Structure 1
């Protein structure tokens, strides 16, 4: 590989990162994601045409992905350095290590493409590019519990391809974007330099045309409306677990809001009560239970639970009529590596940080919804929002499928950064996939109400303390994506991508 190509791969990767949430506004940019991916396809095809084998495409794809991923979740540095006390050089190296490690999947994908591309026509190379890209995304989202933050499809939540989310989900959108980008990138390389100015209009025209013929996931029926109050405490992360400071503020403010709210459903963020039940003031939880034991109101409260000495769960408790003695409970299923469980062999790393960590237990999958006033509310906690296939497990039976999705989060660990905007886009994509409204109650933002079309209808300003009063309308249809992912998980996408790869392996080498 010529050294002059290396900056091009890195710049294309940084453009991919910016497309997830534009740093000067926070909005996702679908066209920039396509342009960055088309640049990757263009560069890789250049390696193929110069007969550079599989190693150079592997290195180029790895460099692209390293720049993309580090540029996407660079804010992990804040949690480790600002709040964890890890020295800045070590925190930066940790982000680089994570990004470059995850980029290995894309490096393998690039190597496979470089190895197999000589066998294929331009059409075959387009399909192969989409297949290996999708496989890399799927592996990143599943291997070692998965870390799919910043998957390429999230850039399209506002784009012309968004209407296909109820059919193919986030990874299907990513595959479609990869195929479109490869069409433009490979076509430009085939026509050489003179075609580059034409590649961008062609690239943008394809999804716009596809967007004209898109359709939603089927007829959508309302299940009624529910008035909600979503609480945002804005407790500084460096005070959250400090007695006499963040703990006292949280207990006082959330307690007051839960007592005085008149909404049909009141929701707090993740671990809004930052103590185990036995550590809370006497009668604290009991007062909440009694407050909602009668009448037409209910509350969902974030609190860590202890089932036995040393056995903890990141949980939500639901209070309402008939639940005073035995509240509804949801336990987080998909835990955050290093935050809620410590991977084997990495205890030394977490011991270097001043962060309250524990090995939490996992909840089941699926868990029952919180049924209230005609709505079946399906909670998930923070990071779980990234795993649409796991949320989809609750949609197999239409009679019990959720009518409203709920995410509670605390990403104050990452400061006032694009992490907030990125997570908003993730929640909007879940709303699109399942055609369900999404409620989000967070500590610092984004506390929002998202309708079943993925549109934000109400939002609190970030980094403020307040209650978002709004009304949400539940929905009852089962989208095609919800139908197949609840039965087969992501297996159809795995199988289709592997089938293209196998076809490419078996195809006789194309004569030049």
Structure 2
């Protein structure tokens, strides 16, 4: 039977959303980003009213998130032990809940749509960037695959990141996308943004300071289903000790929960050996492990060992369901087998670790998707370091997507970012977001190199998302309908 116009529109929204994932890592077709969102804009303009626009937005978002982040199924089913008949619907519900944000954007677009074309362009961009920001804040936030991340280096638009951050990039891409509905003026706007962005990429916001520090980033590649098993415990400790011993450096990083128990339960002689190995060149080691306090709370932490005094960073932005159980969902978590799923959050502001002659701001796994939280350690910190374990998501898009996010954090802050991961992607990211080195994922190895701390501040590191939000509000005021429209 021939498809009706409504069904064709719904199918187009679903496919356009799914195609949007190609703009992100590992596909990296950053230049493609305006096209799926142009399709979204055109679909919204053709809808009969706010309800239809909301449905188009929902289908666009559902296709986008189902293609882009359905790797949560792997963590729930394959490694979390949840039966497929529960993990599958849970994944669909998760993607559908994320699709509510573009659905809200679609509804608001038609509800208050201006008549003038260029006000429509501004209004669309405001709603896309605004709902990206809202998704990164509401219910502890899930900013993964915010549109602006598609413009991480090598995109010329990455030049706007030190000014306006990821949501400023979301706004820029959405503006370009909607303007292409009139292709001549749209191409002119695209060329202008690309030229200005390229020029901004030449600006040096921060400068290196001090001598280069030799680094060793350890990738253990411990299978997730073996990580917390007692029979694998000593093999894990031995693997990390041997890799550290064979690759001396001034700063050595181990992944999140690399030492898979409470640090005070590790053999004292083992900790002494790690400290001795780390201090061979007056250096230090930072390892992911677990810590606890006298009140029974426990933390996902990073501890330093070596020439410098013992220091601890505890993860402060926890992952819902993975690291804490939201109220009312204990029944859901009872169907999974996720160890250590009731962590306590560390303090919101923690002093950078003074190691290897530098101030290193630690963030653990998912924390580096929150740019405003990363900048809390600036300008004191000269180096950013992320310890991650994305083995929970298997061979999926999660690892390259996470690396892309980290690259944008480096550009926003003007700081090098070091990533030590269990299964990938372990990398050295320069302060301009370029990759100085990356290990093959799902291999056991060590990435060696050098890094220099950076000093100074980008506008984003001073003001966070306030710049992008102020611009969003300003454009919303300009876009609002006028009587003559």
**TM-score where L is the length of structure 2:** 0.93
Listed one character per residue, the Cα deviations across residues 94-130 of structure 1 (whole Å, up to 9, x for unaligned) are 111111112212211111110111x341111111111
Corresponding position of 1:64? 60
Q: Distance in 1 between matches of 2:203 and 2:196?
A: 16
- State which of 316, 331, 336 in structure 1 corresponds to 2:314: 331
Equivalent residue in structure 2 for 1:388, among 351, 361, 371:
371
Corresponding position of 1:369: 352
Correspondence for 2:111: 115
Please tell me whether the aligned partners of residues 53 and 107 of structure 2 are also in contact (alpha carbons under 8 angstroms): yes
Distance in 2 of aligned mates of 1:212 and 1:138: 25
Secondary structure class of the residue paired with 1:314 = strand
Q: CA deviation at 1:18?
A: 2.3
User: Where do residues 393-412 of structure 1 align in structure 2 (5 Å cutoff)?
Assistant: 393-395=376-378, 398=379, 401-412=380-391
Q: Which residue of 1 aligns with 2:336?
A: 353
Q: Return the alpha-carbon distance in structure 1 between the equivalents of residues 268 and 307 of structure 2.
A: 22
Match of 2:12 in 1: 8
d(CA) in 2 for partners of 1:204 and 1:217?
20
**Residue 143 (str. 1) matches residue 133 (str. 2):** no
Is there any run of 5+ residues in structure 1 with no aligned partner, and where? Answer: 189-197
Q: 1:420 aligns with which of 370, 378, 399?
A: 399
SS in 2 for 1:174: helix
SS of match in other structure, 1:407: strand
Select 2:471's aligned residue among 472, 486, 496: 496
2:447 is the alignment partner of 1:468: yes
Q: Is residue 382–residue 453 contact of structure 2 (8 Å, CA) maintained in 1?
A: yes
The answer for the alignment partner of 1:193 in structure 2 is none
Among 193, 206, 212, the alignment partner of 1:220 is 206
2:241 to 255, 259, 266: 255
Give the distance between the partners of 1:343 and 1:242, measured in 2 at CA: 26
For residues 419-471 of structure 1, give each alpha carbon's deviation from its aligned partner in whole angstroms, at most 9, with x where no partner exists: 11101101111111111111110001111111111111111111111111111
**Structure 1 pair 342–216 and aligned structure 2 pair: CA distance change class (3 A):** farther
Provide the rounded CA distance (Å) in 2 between the counterparts of 1:249 and 1:307. 27
Query: What is the CA RMSD across the aligned residues, in angstroms?
Result: 2.1
Q: Secondary structure at the match of 1:371?
A: strand
The aligned residue for residue 43 of structure 2 is 43
Separation in 2, partners of 1:404, 1:415: 29
**Alignment-derived partner of residue 216 in structure 2:** 229
CA distance in 1, matches of 2:254, 2:66: 31
Corresponding residue number in structure 2 for 1:29: 29
Deviation string for 1:257-291 (max 9, x for gaps)? 33454211111000000111243234332433354
Rate the CA distance shift 1:491–1:167 in 2: closer, same or farther, 3 A.
Answer: closer
Q: Unaligned stretches of 5+ in structure 2? A: none
Question: What whole-Å deviation, never above 9, does each CA across 1:201-224 have from its counterpart, x for those lacking one?
Answer: 668645434444434554532113
C-alpha contact (below 8 Å) 1:9/1:61 kept by paired residues: yes
Flag the 1:99–1:348 CA change in 2: closer, same or farther, 3 A: same
Q: 2:99 aligns with which of 87, 94, 103?
A: 103
SS at match of 1:101: helix
Question: Aligned partners of 1:213 and 1:471: how far apart in 2?
Answer: 28
Structure 1 residues 212 and 449, CA gap change in structure 2 (3 angstroms): closer
Aligned positions of 1:230-245 closer than 5 A: 230-245=217-232
CA apart distance, 1:4: 1.4
The Cα shift of 1:302 comes to: 0.7
C-alpha distance in structure 2 between counterparts of 1:491 and 1:167, whole Å:
10
In 2, Cα distance between the equivalents of 1:502 and 1:211? 25
CA–CA distance in 2 between the matches of 1:496 and 1:212? 21
- 2:70 maps to 74
CA 1:215–1:424 in 2, change beyond 3 Å: closer, same or farther?
A: closer
Report the 3-state secondary structure (helix = DSSP H, G, I; strand = E; otherwise coil) of the residue aligned with 1:340.
coil
CA contact (8 A) 2:208 2:453 kept: yes
Q: Given the superposition, is the C-alpha separation of residues 212 and 437 from structure 1 closer, same or farther in structure 2, using an over 3 Å criterion?
A: closer
Distance of 2:140 and 2:321 partners within structure 1: 12
Shift of 1:306: 1.4
Distance (Å, rounded) in 1 between the aligned partners of 2:136 and 2:405: 14
Cα deviation for residue 371 of structure 1 reads 2.1
The answer (yes or no) to whether the contact 2:283–2:356 under 8 Å persists in 1 is no
